[in-house]
Chain A
């Protein structure tokens, strides 16, 4: 049985966000700060606001995958899977919106293309959510979903988002 312990943190005046303090498995805290190596320094784009959000996104995704891959029966971790998935998805939405807002603030020339790519990915997430809601919330399908999220995020942050940093440096913002 996995138990997720949340700490409330106010993120902005309109939305309430929660930090995961820990994930307890039979009394033992299996989630520790710093054990998630999914984040790599090379993913930094050099814009603090965006880098901090990317780190948070990778952290939540890591946490989700950790639970999906944990070697306990699917039924026992179903609730934790759903909670961490929602926790991660909520942040994807927040981050995409804020990143687009930032791109507008700096007059980023490729904003429209970037928004299209974000929208396409949100649609892909939504398509999976539909599949899950229609009853196919199986371990295999969730594994497939989490793998796609991971590879997509790595590619997007590593390639597309880097261009934002390059533009900022060129402009001397």
Chain B
């Protein structure tokens, strides 16, 4: 897992959070993941193909998700309904898109699939047999994390 991947996603997250939510994002210590990842209240999965292949997983708490959509819409959200989960998916999608642009400066040409939003803490997301790292992130409205399950696709 190269620093270029981590930085590409971290910088993309900072840029998008600043632009869309007016929030600073600070990162904690990177963790190495093994096997299963326990799902948070709201999770977004992005599939990556091209020079890198794998998955990006965003995990948010219920409160942070509602607060994020409240910031964007200016309206109080009572629960994670389809509007909220779609908005969350799109934010993750935009981060992914920005990260791909950052990765291209390191000569990685990739694509991302449309976001899949998974709601429910009881869901355990298994992305086993892949090397993975998790970036814990902090904002004024809560903490979230991004898990990167990526490997180089030398045949692409």
A interface residues with partner B (beta carbon < 8 Å): 36-40, 42, 62, 65-66, 68-69, 139-140, 143-144, 146-148, 150-152, 154-155, 158-159
Interface string of B67-84 (1 = CB under 8 A from A): 000001111010001111
Which residues of chain B are within 8 angstroms of A146 by Cβ–Cβ distance? 83
Pairwise interchain contact B20-A65, C-beta atoms closer than 8 A: no
A42 contacts across to B, CB distance below 8 A: 22
Contacting residue for A139 out of B82, B86, B89, CB 8 A = B82
- Distance in Å: Cβ of B114 to nearest Cβ of chain A: 11
A-B pairs, top 5 by smallest CB distance, nearest first, are A37-B74, A147-B86, A151-B90, A143-B83, A143-B82
Please state if A38 and B82 are interface contacts (CB–CB under 8 Å). no
Q: Considering the complex, give the chain B residue whose CB is closest to the CB of A65.
A: B73
| CB-based contact B87/A151 at 8 Å | yes
B100 to chain A, nearest CB (A): 15
Q: Is the CB of B83 within 8 A of A154?
A: no
B83 touches A62 (CB 8 A): no
Q: Which chain A residue shows the least CB distance to B78?
A: A71
- Chain A nearest CB, measured from B94 CB (Å): 6
Q: When chains A and B are docked, how far (Å) is the Cα of A36 from the Cα of B82?
A: 21
The answer to whether B83 and A68 touch across the interface, beta carbons within 8 angstroms, is: yes
Q: How far is the CB of A137 from chain B (nearest CB, A)?
A: 14
Closest Cβ of chain A to B78, distance in Å, is 8
A40–B74 Cα distance when bound, in Å, is 9
CB of B148 within 8 Å of the partner chain: no
A150 and B73 alpha carbons, distance in the complex (Å) = 7
Residue in A62, A150, A158, A159 whose beta carbon sits within 8 Å of that of B87 in the complex: A150
A158 to B21, CA, bound (A): 11
Interface pairs (22), CB distance under 8 Å: A37-B75, A38-B73, A38-B74, A62-B73, A65-B73, A68-B83, A139-B82, A140-B82, A144-B83, A144-B86, A146-B83, A147-B84, A148-B86, A150-B73, A151-B72, A151-B91, A151-B94, A154-B72, A155-B16, A155-B20, A158-B19, A159-B19
- With a cutoff of 8 Å between Cβ atoms, the chain B residues found around residue A150 in the complex are 72-73, 87
B69 nearest in chain A by CB position? A147
Nearest opposing residue in chain B for A40, CB measure: B22
Cβ contact within 8 Å between B74 and A151: no
**Are B83 and A69 neighbours in the complex by a CB distance under 8 Å?**
yes
A146 and B89 CA atoms in complex are apart in Å by 13
Bound state CA distance, A68 and B86, in angstroms?
14
B91 touches A36 (CB 8 A): no
- Residues of A contacting B72 with CB < 8 Å? 38, 150-151, 154
Taking a contact as CB atoms closer than 8 A, the residue among B83, B90, B91 that contacts A65 in the complex is: B83
**Least CB distance, B17 to chain A, in whole angstroms:** 12
Expressed in whole angstroms, the minimum distance between the Cβ of A136 and any Cβ of chain B is 13
